[in-house]
Amino acid sequence: MKSNSEIKKEAIEVLQLEAKALEALTHKITDDFAEVVNIIVNLKGRVVVSGIGKSAIIAQKIVATLNSTGTPSIFMHAADAIHGDLGIIQQDDLVIVISKSGNTPEIKVLIPFLKQANNRMVGIVGNLNSFLAQQADYVLDTTVEREACPNNLAPTTSTTAQLAMGDALAVCLQTLRQFTDRDFAKYHPGGALGKQLYLKVGDLSNNNGKPTVLASDSIRHTIITITKYRLGATAVIENDQIIGIITDGDIRRMLENYEDTSKLTAKDIMSSNPKQIEEGELAITAFHTMKDNNISQLIVTANAEYSGIIHIQDLLKEGII
């Protein structure tokens, strides 16, 4: 058994080793990298990414990142490619082959077929003297000094370098395409990330009803209104204008400050100048406003007119915070 301090020390050494490898990678960004980026951004076809073993897993992640940032991509397993999946590759596609050694049997069998098809080929490779490096049209060097594995065998540092190189490609392409957060949302409509980028305040507040009391309404009526809508608050209206908000907290403070509440009206206990947000704003913006002001509700407006209330629980239910 190792002590906690020994385990932590070993973990730190792994991270430091991988960080050092990534730092070294910054010196391996050559003109080949820039040319590959320019080729892909003008590509009529797709980016086909292939690999074997752990490199295949990295290839799948790179494909996912490219697709989500606007570069049509597809994964092709190197072993499956030589058993029928070569049909995936179309005439205008660019092929990226990922391999640490660049000399695995599957890669050696695959590359001649890729060359016959005349598709441009990029090698993300950790051995510049390898078969892959020699045959590729463009080489992205991911050579590492050693693996984080104590035996220098298990792909660790090398796969981190491959993944980082893929990220660098994706981000450069994203920038060239002027790919915005709105574009990003189109490819992530179902998850929490997508909701942060497209879900509007009105999408949530319109389901909540529109709790309203007049400035002159009684406290009893105010409490009934707050209870009815289950939002912990109601807007206070006077002359068709929003003049305040009453929350559960305002009710508690009233009970602390007044023994007799029978003569009080909504205007007497409301909080003036309530925070407001337009229904067309992003829901995540509503969350940041609530967080910055340490509140749980916001008055929602539509063209400056009262539209409803959004509660922080609405955002929690959607899973965007």
pTM: 0.68
Domain 198-318 = CATH 3.10.580.10: yes
Q: Are residues 75 and 63 in contact, defined by beta-carbon separation less than 8 angstroms?
A: yes
Please tell me the CATH superfamily of domain 4-179, with its number. Glucose-6-phosphate isomerase like protein; domain 1 (3.40.50.10490)
- Any known ligand binding at 311? no
The pLDDT confidence band at residue 257, using thresholds 50, 70 and 90, is: very high
Q: Outline where the chain has alpha helix (H).
A: 4-25, 31-41, 54-68, 78-81, 105-116, 131-135, 157-176, 181-186, 192-198, 201-205, 219-229, 248-257, 266-269, 283-293, 312-318
Q: What is the pLDDT of residues 55-111, one digit of tens each?
A: 999 999 999 999 988 899 999 999 998 888 888 999 999 999 999 999 999 999 999
Query: Does pLDDT of 16 surpass 80?
Result: yes
Domains of the chain by residue range: 4-179, 198-318
Residue 29 has phi, psi (to 5 degrees) of -85, 105
Identical fold at 4-179 and 198-318?
Answer: no
